[in-house]
Amino acid sequence: MAAPSCNALGLWVRGSGQCLGSRFILACQPFCSSAAASGTLNAQRLAEKLRSQKQEQKTRKQPVPTNPVQRRVQELVRFTQQLQRVHPNVLAKALSRGIVHQDKDLVVINKPYGLPVHGGPGVQLCISDVLPILAKMLRGHKAEPLHLCHRLDKETTGVMVLAWEKEMAHQVQELFRTRQVVKKYWAIAVRVPVPSAGVVDIPIVEKEVQGPQQHYKMTLSPGYRMDNGKMVRARTSRNAHVAVTQYQVLSSTLSSALLELQPITGIKHQLRVHLSFGLDCPILGDHKYSDWNKLAPQKLSVGTLKKLGLKQAKAHHIPLHLHARQLVLPALGSRKEELNLVCKPPRYFLCSLRRLDLRMPSQDQSGDDEAGHLRAQ
């Protein structure tokens, strides 16, 4: 005898000859709807709980150290490490808030401290990685990625130019290459250069530093040297690059100075090398070029450390105080006049100015740091 069947998925009641599939389905539907609603409610509650926990973590204040040196270290860390370990979307949002200029061809951002422009070994986050995200934030989801027009060192802050089209990026790059762009930097220097204004015109070459910490540095390659009190022509290296820097003291004390630097050429680490090895006035926080023979935290005078609220053992927390303050681009494309771009220094730079009793020019007394309120997540 063939087994009884039922077209609908259900239960066969033995001995009754009836299929209860339809009844089972009808009875099951309210139960499934109730379970789904319960699951949705639980998911909503979980999401609300996670949001409240996240908000609580943001608002929760870290304990303030009682030691004034530790407080100062915490302040430096907070100012300089806010955007190095965040999600790319958070970095893109911070860059969008710090936009200095935007038109149909260019976007100009205020580059934060400690972020490399390009990726490389050990680099987790860089400016170029977030350019597609930044473009979508500014022009919608169909926007093409922005293009880099030039670069700044990882530790340098300030004006950075991006272009919407690759052709425009190439044109701006050509302006930089042919030295048609006026570039002005601000730096806080340890010691005061003499004279207070001048030009450093000394070629630069990269050399290997021998010793227990074998490494490479850029250094001076002068065309002349002293020999028994006489100036004689030195043998020039074929790898040396012409490097010219114009400088001017804007404010100074006995042990430090605020300088305006205008690089005429664009050699790697040119400003740092010319100040440290050419003028004997290294940039505050330059732990690479303050000493030729070793890589070690910058050695500072007792008076400078006291003003900064630090001890020598904590000097490695001091960031490089080099800020790309101004770029002047000549007329390009549909723009018939030059474009003057200015970025205010970051908070740690302004704080160091105040602590060292250095004054900014009157038109730049205020400053901000758009990324200052963002936390690493």
Active site residue 129: no
Answer for the pair 351, 285: CB distance below 8 angstroms, yes or no. no
> What values do phi and psi take at 144, rounded to 5?
-80, 155
Handedness of CA 220, 221, 223, 229 (dihedral sign): positive
SS3 assignment for the chain = CCCCCCCCCCCEECCCCEECHHHHHHHHHHHHHHHHHHHHHHHHHHHHHHHHHHHHHHHCCCCCCCCHHHHHHHHHHHHHCCCCCCCHHHHHHHHHHCEEEECCCEEEEEECCCCCCCCCCCCCCCCHHHHHHHHHHHHCCCCCCCEECCCCCCCCEEEEEEECCHHHHHHHHHHHHCCCCEEEEEEEEECCCCCCEEEEECCEEEEEECCCCCEEEEEECCCEEEECCEEEECCCCCCCECCEEEEEEEEECCCEEEEEEEECCCCCCHHHHHHHHHCCCCECCCCCCCCCCCCCCCCCCHHHHHHHCCCHHHHHHCCCCEEEEEEEECCECCECCCEEEECCCCHHHHHHHHHCCCCCCHHHCCCCCHHHHCCCC
Residue of 103, 105, 129, 153 marked catalytic: 153
The answer for residues whose C-beta is within 8 angstroms of residue 18's C-beta and 6 or more apart is 12
Determine the straight-line distance between the first and last CA of the chain, rounded to whole angstroms: 70
Classify strands 99-102 and 18-19 as parallel, antiparallel or unpaired: unpaired
| Cβ–Cβ < 8 Å for 283, 320 | yes
Which residues have a catalytic role annotated?
A: 153
